[in-house]
Chains A and B, each alone.
Chain A
């Protein structure tokens, strides 16, 4: 089955995530990240942050929900039974802190067949309440044997 390309360039309704202290602490604990700026408000403020700050890879927590409608969109046509996460890039700008409301928009930037596999590349752009970009993600999903 050929890879559908009609949806290339399409974006989906944004999702908004409210960053909170306990969720940051939970994420940092699971990853074994020990810097007190992820746990303690005083330590975070002393280091120049507004509030407890998220580790960079916490981006998955607030950005990933924006991808759900994109991944399930029949216009994209991803076969979940054969889906693997092939590659990932994040580019960070403003840190994400507790209290931030982060809005993420997903867009399909390419869909193509390479060596019998389908490559679907999505971009997510996350901005905070002040309109500053927090992170840009590039998510490469591979559907084996399209």
Chain B
């Protein structure tokens, strides 16, 4: 992979999950919690709407890290840690950004976050990769 240096930004990943994405993710992942699928249920427990699965958003963070540093090689990602914060919503663009924190030989550490506008849905993300 091309030279990576501390402070470098990795390419941002932008994706707008459509209205039905939470259904497809539920089917793919097996997580059918109604807060992700049923607007009325979500509102009844105090949420603004049905919300994106946090682990879907984490999946986008993992993709951004692997594509941004290792051409999407699934062997590269060794560790990923995230904190879930604001609720992600369907039909709004998710942007994942990352900055290289450390480079030590083949080992790279990238700090990442995912936002929808001002809403930071994943904070303090950190990926460790071997390139």
A57 to B81: give the CA distance in the assembly, Å. Answer: 12
Within the complex, what minimum Cβ distance (angstroms) separates A28 from chain B? 9
> A55's contact among B55, B71, B74, B81, by CB below 8 Å, is which?
B74
Sample of 19 A–B contacts (CB below 8 Å): A27-B28, A30-B24, A30-B56, A31-B59, A31-B60, A33-B63, A54-B74, A55-B59, A55-B62, A55-B63, A55-B74, A57-B63, A60-B31, A60-B55, A60-B59, A64-B30, A87-B81, A88-B55, A91-B78
Number of A-B contacts (CB under 8 A): 87
The 7 tightest CB contacts between A and B, nearest first, are A89-B81, A35-B72, A57-B59, A30-B28, A27-B28, A57-B62, A87-B83
> B58's contact among A88, A92, A95, by CB below 8 Å, is which?
A88
Contacts from B to A (Cβ < 8 Å):
15, 21, 24-25, 27-31, 45, 54-56, 58-60, 62-63, 66, 71-75, 77-84
Instruction: Assess whether B21 is in contact with A30, with CB atoms less than 8 Å apart.
Output: yes
Within the complex, what minimum Cβ distance (angstroms) separates A130 from chain B? 17
For A62, the closest partner residue in chain B by CB is: B30
Instruction: Assess whether B74 is in contact with A53, with CB atoms less than 8 Å apart.
Output: yes
Please provide the chain A residues from 45 to 96 with a CB less than 8 Å away from any CB of chain B in the complex.
53-57, 60-61, 64-65, 81, 84-92, 95
